[in-house]
Structure 1
Amino acid sequence: MLCFETICVENRQLKNLSYHEARLNKTRRELWGYTDEWDLNALLEVPERVHAGMHKCRVAYAQEVDNIQWEPYSRREIRKIRRVYHDEIDYQYKYDNRDALNKLFAQRGDADEILIIKNGLVTDSNYCNVAFRLGNQWLTPASPLLPGTQRAYLLDEGIIQTAEIRESDIGAFSQIRLFNAMVDWAHAATLDVSLIA
């Protein structure tokens, strides 16, 4: 069973590394019982071929590092979101096996992204955590499928707050924003909630 971290590399700089390191070490401790801490700064050396612009560093690991991949990254456009439902889905660790998520994503129809509803509660999209705008506040689900590193950063900075968000609450908000390690708050897709089918 592999897990992985996806780290944003912008102009050869690894972003939010302390958050990735914290999640990786928590995963290693909880899944495999390791008490040693990996230092991602020491583990990762940006290759020469990774030039200016945005790249994705994907670190797959279990007890040890399995592989590290570096590839260019471009943000995708999201214009419509479809709600999908699964009451048993479990993705509390960033597992390499995304079969359950891929099956849900296949239900998107003509939409670009999905919004996963679990037991009546809003969780995440396929690749992103989400936040909803209520007046001047941005609220993110208190029980995401996977607590993302960008989400942790935004919570620490006070940009978003957690709340229990039920599917029935969606209409009370004006906008939804989708963000992850590769898509920071400033570049996150922001849609009117009417575009959630």
Structure 2
Amino acid sequence: MSSIQYLETIKAFDGELYNLKYHQRRLDETVKNSNIILKDVLTPPLAGLFRCRVIYDGRNYEVTYHPYKKKNIKTLKLVFDDDISYSKKYYERNSIDALVRQKYSCDDILIVKNGLVTDTSIANIAFKYKNNWITPKKPLLDGTTRARLLESHKILEEDISIKDLENFTQVALMNAMIDFDIIQNENIREIIC
């Protein structure tokens, strides 16, 4: 494989692959003229919940399957980095891993770039305001679940500043494995540490 590698993480449950068209679209946008057709190269286990990992560079790929156990995220530490960039889902995540080391006793981080909320280290995020779920307009990574929920109008995009956080009533994380997962705590001040 080339020196730059990318990653797709796809949910597989009892042999079924979830949201494959969104993963294929991101793969195709990440590496132009790729010869990788996900539906043709994936053969997930027929029983159980698995995280299918596809590491690729456009021409070559490696597929592995790992039993999945959801992380229990209840608290998020605000971390600030105006220079971070993660517009493609790179296999190497050194800049994000460095920020994760700042989480201290919290379960994960909430990354703030140029005064705006972006993502956690493992998921896109959404906040409930009145009857709407709002996701940051400028995430670090345009996740596949986020893209699907935006297309179906289940979430809306807006710029979200740190000051806006006090106006929200709930928090949800979203990624390929957990879909749209609401953190069960009505007090957002207890979630953001």
Query: Do they superpose with TM above 0.5?
Result: yes
2:192 to 182, 191, 196: 196
Large movers: runs of 4+ above 4 Å: none
Report deviation, 1:190. 4.4
Amino acid in the other structure paired with 1:42: D
Count of aligned residue pairs for this structure pair? 188
- Residue 7 of structure 2: aligned partner: 4
Q: Which runs of 5+ in 1 are unaligned?
A: none
Amino acid in the other structure paired with 1:20: H
Say if 2:128 is the partner of 1:130: no
Q: Which runs of 5+ in 2 are unaligned?
A: none
Greater mean alpha carbon deviation, residues 74-83 or residues 142-151 = 74-83
Contact 1:129 1:148 in 2 (8 A): yes
CA distance, structure 1, for counterparts of residue 48 and residue 178 of structure 2? 13
- Residue 139 of structure 1: aligned partner: 134
Say if 2:30 is the partner of 1:24: no
Instruction: Report Cα offsets for 1:114-142 as digits up to 9, x if no partner.
Output: 00000000000000000000011000000
What's the TM-score once normalised by structure 2's chain length? 0.93
Amino acid in the other structure paired with 1:2: Q
Contact 1:59 1:65 in 2 (8 A): no
Instruction: Report Cα offsets for 1:89-123 as digits up to 9, x if no partner.
Output: 00000001101100101100100010000000000
Contact 2:15 2:43 in 1 (8 A): no
1:164 to 156, 159, 162: 159
Report deviation, 1:43. 1.9
Contact 2:128 2:134 in 1 (8 A): yes
1:74 to 69, 90, 96: 69
Report deviation, 1:58. 0.4
Residue 108 of structure 1 aligns to a residue whose secondary structure is: coil
Contact 1:81 1:108 in 2 (8 A): yes
What's the TM-score once normalised by structure 1's chain length? 0.91
CA distance, structure 1, for counterparts of residue 88 and residue 128 of structure 2? 27
Contact 1:178 1:188 in 2 (8 A): yes
Residue 153 of structure 1 aligns to a residue whose secondary structure is: helix
